Amino acid sequence: MTVRPIVIYGTPVLHNPTELVTEPVSELAELIADMYETMEVAHGVGLAANQIGVNKRIFVYDCPDDEGVFHRGCFINPVLETSDIPLGMPATDGSDEEGCLSLPGLGFPTGRADWAKVTGLNEQGEEVTVEATGFLARCFQHEVGHLDGFVYADVLQGRWKRAAKKAIKREGWTEEGLTWMPGVDPDPFGHDQVEQED
């Protein structure tokens, strides 16, 4: 397994729909293993293939539900269904806060449906369906959004959308080809500092 660089906002692979996987699932084993490893070292709860520069409709996740139970898996060619996305501004109490490894260090309240269902193939080539609520449903919507060519900053509303645009400009993420390397570069979400304190 190899940790791969994570592509930062502004690179076209993040802003265009990914291609359906047509090759045998057995040919994806190395890519999927690298995605799991990269997600783990980056302290992420999900990772889409285009976040490591691979234009394929695949995501992996290792994400807690609202009870703190972790769910781990892979979806190839996922199809997403959701309940209604709430109208209006998302909550500012932290419950709607969302971050992204491709917008390292940033987080903004993001409106999401409370229920989601994903259907697709797993890494063994078996068709699987997972239903989720709360935080896990948020993760599924976030990752499928990546595969559809959207970063969560694209779905922000009002002042949060304006704040994200300013932050992206301030960070210089308006040009393509920028990356960060999990395990090498300082952790943009501060996980390294937490570990050092333990």
Annotated binding site: 100, 142, 146
Q: For 114, which DSSP code?
A: S
Instruction: Please identify which of the residues 40, 67, 143, 197 carries the catalytic annotation.
Output: 143
For residues 155 and 26, give the distance between their C-alpha atoms in angstroms, rounded to a whole number.
Answer: 34
For residues 128 and 47, give the distance between their C-alpha atoms in angstroms, rounded to a whole number.
Answer: 18
- Verify whether residue 81 is a known catalytic residue: no
> In this structure, are residues 153 and 10 in contact, taking their beta carbons and an 8 Å threshold?
no
| Structural tokens at position 36 | 């799991």
| Structural tokens at position 105 | 């260090």
For residues 112 and 63, give the distance between their C-alpha atoms in angstroms, rounded to a whole number.
Answer: 16
For residues 143 and 92, give the distance between their C-alpha atoms in angstroms, rounded to a whole number.
Answer: 22
Catalytic residues: 143
